[in-house]
Structure 1
Amino acid sequence: MTDPVHRPEQAAVRGLLRAVGEALDGPVPREWQAAIKAIPRHRFLPERIWLEDDQGDYAPCDLSTDHDRWFEAAYADLPLVTQVNDGHPAADPADAWPSSSASAPSIVVRMLRDLDVRPGMNVLEIGTGTGWNAALLAHRLGPKHVTSIEIDSEVSEQAWASLNATGLDVDLICGDGSLGWPRRHPYDRIISTCSVRRVPWAWIEQTRPGGIVLTPWDNPMLCWGLLRLTVQRDQAQGRFSPHSAFMLMRNHRQDLRIFRDVVRDEHIPEESETTLSPWEITGDHWVARFALGLRLGDVWTAWEDDPGVDGVDARLWVATTDARSWAAVDHDGRHNKRFTVWQYGPRRLWDEIEAAHHWWEEHDRPAPTRFGLTVTAERQWAWLDQPTQSVRTLDHKAPRGCPSRPVPHPLP
């Protein structure tokens, strides 16, 4: 007989499985259905989560004071912010930025399905987060076959408590996931729950030949895409898919601001015009932005509405992550066929964007599935259709990170 205390939980799990199946265009695989039923998601969430409001800010939602809303969020097929500002309090909701989260269940299941684990395999997870993903893996493989690394000590402690409460004693380490965990290698699978801009070679070294490395992808222009690599003896190679948007690995971050780090009063930009609309490379143009991000590398964009400049309704900023080059594209609010361009620095960034966009169109507007990545100990490169058609070689050096919102600033 079913315990009535657990009926709301069981109903919520059934609803979540239906929602995940709809998102995946098919039923959740049986092994992962069993895992989700056995390990309810809400048991791995902190008592305080943060939900986005109508203004795009994050406001706390506490289990103790808003149980129904908290529980409903726990079983929605949505990502949930579980920490803001690396655990430091935010004085104002507008100052709260996500630093740890629970991924949307449909993305969790998609990645677990793509990981293709089987009994007897050993898995290394990069980014424990709440611990739910590690728990699902442990239910499928057994706790002794799962190792998980979390860089944040507070997040790690909470995940440890949740895992132990469910009797799943996985090997949980608090440390830098980009280094892997060589003490238990070789692994059959490595899965990352944070995005990267280049694949750490340590992950390849610690995966046995024939094994798989699965990680979300990020470039400064767009955080989007999932990369699945098959490891060989001296390299790893695989393709992207158009799924997932995860937080960037912490040691890949950088707090870049247009007018603090890039634009200076003494900069004298060159003026020109363009017929390429700035909206063609921003907004919902995910496929174009993904391709341009792979092609251009360390280039990011930021919109500035109503910049406070006469005759300018909106401005798109483009800059390099080394803060040496920038461009601005102005829209006057009336004409949509010609735009004013300002460029400064050793790289003419808008010229590069125009060339990259033309290249993308010439190649029949390729989607992420036509792109791939090859990783060796010396270098790694992105390619189109096949590894011999290189799009760009990625630097092995430590990456620069994410931009922040621009601050109004006039141009000549």
Structure 2
Amino acid sequence: MPAAPDTAATGALVDGLLAQVAEQLGRPLPARLREAFQHMPRHQFLPDRIWLRDGSGGYRDVDRTADPEGWLAAAYTDQPLVTHFTEGLPTSSASMPSMVARMLLLAGVTEPNSHDQAPLRVLELGAGTGFNAGLLCILAGDEQVTTVDLAPAIAATAQENLKRVGRTPTVVAADGASGWPPGAPYDLVLATFSVDHIPPEWLAGLRPARGRIVTPWTSAWCSYGTLELTASEEGPAHGRFHSFASFMPMARPHAESRPPMTAPAGDNSAAAFSSTGLSPWAVAGGDLDAEFHIGLTVPGALYAWDTSGDHAHTRLQIQDPVTGSLATVDYDGRTAADFTVAQAGPRRLWDEVTAAYRRWEELGRPSVDKYGLTVAMGATVVWAGSPASPVAER
């Protein structure tokens, strides 16, 4: 077992991390949040083997036994650290500290309550390593914090990590999609994974008129953005999206793997062939504002790029696994003014994506933080600019 780092060395590393976080946020952290980071040693929440992004789409591991200095330095760097893989895919991680700070600031737990207010009751969904729950314990009080994780082993490890630093929130192994009714009502429901809808159980567990949900957002098309949603006296919950965060999606019990994407063949009589002047890179080339809008308004559609050259120089493949609908958009390697389109299945996916993109242009190309969401009577309305400008209803 490597020797524990001394307090002075850890303190210097924490100060360095806080400087990185302040640079990312463009301002120093509020005093209470800064103190919470100083009193919650991140390295105490990490396993002896962690994985960092390698810059090429993969991960490289850092082992505490083989490289104790590198491991400790990684613990206090402003980057996400994968802590667990399942079937070759990362399924649990220590979130990027600046993202943790952004979400806590958005959640409104960094300022003390006034004397006439009851303590905030907090439900964290996705215990992970326990680090975020530890910060919440400092900010809201151990007895006010409940943290839930679907995986019993991850929940148990989080609880052990928290006990190691003297923190005792309620730790539960359960399905986060159902919230945790025994502790309701909550002033704050904070998710550390992304969702594509707000589970009704989360809303049911909120304290009326003041309860707040903060969660990363995802869609089949685009995993990006954070939603802040607040309950109202009248019943509907209203909120806005914010332009930060890309988190792992909510894990589901017995989730099925996504089927492989196959494109309509050229000799398939069921496919409809056409051409388009809309570049596939316009809708799937990294413009997060455009992709966020498409994800909100073309539900269930996902994409992948094929650069193998087997079918075309470059191909954008679009699929709806539920209906089996497929579409491809081919670039021939010569002209970017015209692209060949094939569509098959009950949905004409490229037509839907094109209509969504044109609508985004008509709206003035709004950024992610111009969008909002209203939930009432089981219906969800997505709007751009204001609730008077709906763009989708679910």
TM-score w.r.t. structure 2 length? 0.92
1:79 maps to: 80
How big is the shift at 1:263?
5.7
1:313 maps to: 313
Q: Root-mean-square deviation (CA), in Å? A: 1.9
Give the AA of the match of 2:347.
Answer: R
Moved more, 209-218 or 65-74: 65-74
Give the AA of the match of 1:113.
Answer: L
Instruction: Measure, in 1, the Cα distance between the counterparts of 2:376 and 2:326.
Output: 32
For residues 251-275 of structure 1, what are the alpha-carbon distances to aligned partners after superposition, in whole Å with 9 as ceiling and x for unaligned?
2965323447x76896731111111
Give the AA of the match of 1:124.
Answer: L
1:270 maps to: 272
Moved more, 319-328 or 75-84: 319-328
How big is the shift at 1:150?
0.6
**1:58–1:97: 8 Å Cα contact kept in structure 2?**
no
Within a 5 Å distance, the mapping from 1:103-118 to structure 2 comes to 103-117=95-109, 118=112
How big is the shift at 1:241?
0.7
Instruction: Measure, in 2, the Cα distance between the counterparts of 1:101 and 1:376.
Output: 33
**1:186–1:208: 8 Å Cα contact kept in structure 2?**
yes
1:296 maps to: 298
1:218 maps to: 218
Instruction: Measure, in 2, the Cα distance between the counterparts of 1:211 and 1:138.
Output: 18
How big is the shift at 1:331?
0.8
2:128 maps to: 129
Determine helix, strand or coil for the equivalent of 2:187: strand
Give the AA of the match of 2:197.
Answer: R
Percent identity at matched positions?
Answer: 38
For residues 44-96 of structure 1, what are the alpha-carbon distances to aligned partners after superposition, in whole Å with 9 as ceiling and x for unaligned?
111111223354223432111121221121111111111111xx5xxxxxxx2
2:142 maps to: 143
How big is the shift at 1:101?
0.8
Determine helix, strand or coil for the equivalent of 1:187: coil
Distance 1:254 1:20, change over 3 A: farther
Instruction: Measure, in 2, the Cα distance between the counterparts of 1:194 and 1:81.
Output: 14
Instruction: Measure, in 1, the Cα distance between the counterparts of 2:355 and 2:379.
Output: 25
1:70 maps to: 71
**2:325–2:345: 8 Å Cα contact kept in structure 1?**
yes
Give the AA of the match of 1:100.
Answer: S
Moved more, 4-13 or 189-198: 4-13
Instruction: Measure, in 2, the Cα distance between the counterparts of 1:203 and 1:325.
Output: 32
How big is the shift at 1:307?
3.6
2:13 maps to: 12
TM-score w.r.t. structure 1 length? 0.88
Determine helix, strand or coil for the equivalent of 1:276: coil
For residues 14-36 of structure 1, what are the alpha-carbon distances to aligned partners after superposition, in whole Å with 9 as ceiling and x for unaligned?
01000000111100111111011
Instruction: Measure, in 2, the Cα distance between the counterparts of 1:222 and 1:363.
Output: 19
Within a 5 Å distance, the mapping from 1:180-191 to structure 2 comes to 180-191=179-190
1:244 maps to: 245
How big is the shift at 1:236?
1.1
How big is the shift at 1:348?
1.1
Instruction: Measure, in 1, the Cα distance between the counterparts of 2:315 and 2:367.
Output: 27
Give the AA of the match of 2:231.
Answer: V
> How many residue pairs end up in the alignment?
380
How big is the shift at 1:213?
0.7
Distance 1:220 1:10, change over 3 A: same
Instruction: Measure, in 1, the Cα distance between the counterparts of 2:329 and 2:128.
Output: 39
Give the AA of the match of 2:59.
Answer: Y
**1:217–1:226: 8 Å Cα contact kept in structure 2?**
yes
Instruction: Measure, in 2, the Cα distance between the counterparts of 1:318 and 1:267.
Output: 19
Determine helix, strand or coil for the equivalent of 1:208: coil
Within a 5 Å distance, the mapping from 1:223-234 to structure 2 comes to 223-233=223-233, 234=235
2:336 maps to: 336
**1:304–1:314: 8 Å Cα contact kept in structure 2?**
yes
Unaligned segments of structure 1, at least 5 residues:
89-95, 395-412
Structure possessing the higher relative contact order (Cα contacts under 8 Å, 6 or more residues apart):
1
